Structure 1
Amino acid sequence: MAHRLRPVGTDFVGTAPVRLVFAREMAAAPEAVFHALAEDVPGWAQWFSAVTSARPTEGGREIRLRGGTRFEESVLAARAPEVYAYRVDVTNVPGARAWAEEWRLAPAGGGTRVRMAFALDGTAAFRLVCVLARPGVGRAFRDAVTALDRRLAG
């Protein structure tokens, strides 16, 4: 059953009770990475293996993941080519109360350093599951960034 989450802003990324932060370098330029993140929403399903469908909505996106997880999101910041951030407004994830994600892009070695932060709040059980999921979420992030870099090179 889907439920509405507490609306949060970009400041939540730095203050959330649970923060999962990952970084990786890519060969692609920041402008190309930003375009893939913020402007080619349907393309997410091509490089982020957990995403089965992604479609833009007015002011946000609708995301579906393998296993049936759904998100209705609002874009909080889209400042090319440095920041793309969004919050989850509605999800079917049990125990979630607030959720935002932020992608920060910076030039690095002829390519891009990508830093992604998950900012989360929820029930005690939800927060524990998020902390325990850190290794898997990190692996999914690394695999997605690697696949996106290959896609942008091709």
Structure 2
Amino acid sequence: MIRHLKDVGLDFAESAPVRLVFAGEVSAPPEDVYRALAEETGDWPCWFSAVTFARPTEQGREVHLRGGTKFMETVLAAEPSKRYAYRIDISSAPGVRAMLEDWRIWPTGAATRVQWTMAIDGPAPLRLLLRAARPGVGRAFRDAVRALDARLADSRGK
């Protein structure tokens, strides 16, 4: 069932009832990481195994996940080499009332730090389920960051 989610702004990343925050490092410069996140939408399935399909739309992206969940997103922040954030407007995920994802990028010497925040609101059972799923979501993020790092290294000819 397709659901229209609550219209939230960037501040939801800090105020959501459930916030899952993960961070990792890649050896590529921030501009390469940003390009992979914000501009090379169709390539997400190549490095983020939870994503099976992604394509840009007029306002943001359409994304399909393993298991059949689908999202239509609106980009809220596109700050090259710094931040890429989007609100999920339409979702097939049961129980979700509002959702935003915020990717932050910054240099840390020889590497680039990548932080991903999933901000979600839903009924109490969904909030409990999401908190219990934190370790698995964290593993998926770490795997994605490693795969992105390898992909970006390959594209630089290393």
Instruction: Please give the TM-score of this superposition, normalised by the length of structure 1.
Output: 0.98
Which whole-Å CA distance do the structure 2 matches of 1:56 and 1:75 have between them? 10
Instruction: Say if 2:113 is the partner of 1:117.
Output: no
Q: TM-score, normalised by structure 2?
A: 0.96
Q: How far apart are residue 126 of structure 1 and its match?
A: 1.1
Matched residue, 2:55: 55
Query: How many residues in Structure 1 have an aligned counterpart in Structure 2?
Result: 154
Letter of the 1:12 counterpart:
F
Aligned residue number for residue 73 of structure 1: 73
User: Given the alignment of the two structures, is residue 98 of structure 1 paired with residue 98 of structure 2, yes or no?
Assistant: yes
The percent of aligned pairs where both chains have the same amino acid is 59
Residue 95 of structure 1: SS of its match in structure 2? coil
Using the alignment, how far apart are the partners of 2:72 and 2:146 within structure 1? 25
1:131 aligns with 2:156: no
Question: CA shift at 1:109, angstroms?
Answer: 2.6
Instruction: Give, in angstroms, the shift of residue 110 of structure 1.
Output: 1.3
Hey, which bits of structure 1, 4+ residues long, moved more than 2 A? none
* Post-superposition CA distance 1:32-62 (Å, at most 9, x none): 0000000000010110001110000001100
Shift of 1:120: 0.5
> 2:31 is paired with a residue of what secondary structure?
helix
Supply the AA of the counterpart residue of 1:94.
Answer: P
Q: Quote the Cα distance in structure 2 between the aligned partners of 1:103 and 1:66.
A: 21
**Cα distance in 2 between the residues matched to 1:85 and 1:148:** 18
Give distance in 2, aligned partners of 1:140 and 1:77.
23
Distance 2:67 2:17 in 1: 26
Equivalent runs, 1:8-47 vs 2, <5 Å: 8-47=8-47
Structure 1 alignment gaps of length 5 or more:
none
CA offset digits 1:63-96 (Å, max 9, x no partner):
0011101001000100001000001101111110
* Amino acid aligned to 2:129: V
Identify the range of structure 1 (102-111 vs 33-42) with the bigger mean alpha-carbon deviation: 102-111
Amino acid of the residue matched to residue 93 of structure 1? Answer: A
Which amino acid in the other structure matches residue 128 of structure 1?
L
What letter corresponds to residue 72 of structure 1 in structure 2?
A: M
Note the aligned Cα RMSD (angstroms).
Answer: 0.6
Partner of 1:149: 149
Q: Give the gaps of 5 or more residues in structure 2.
A: none
Offset, 1:111? 1.7
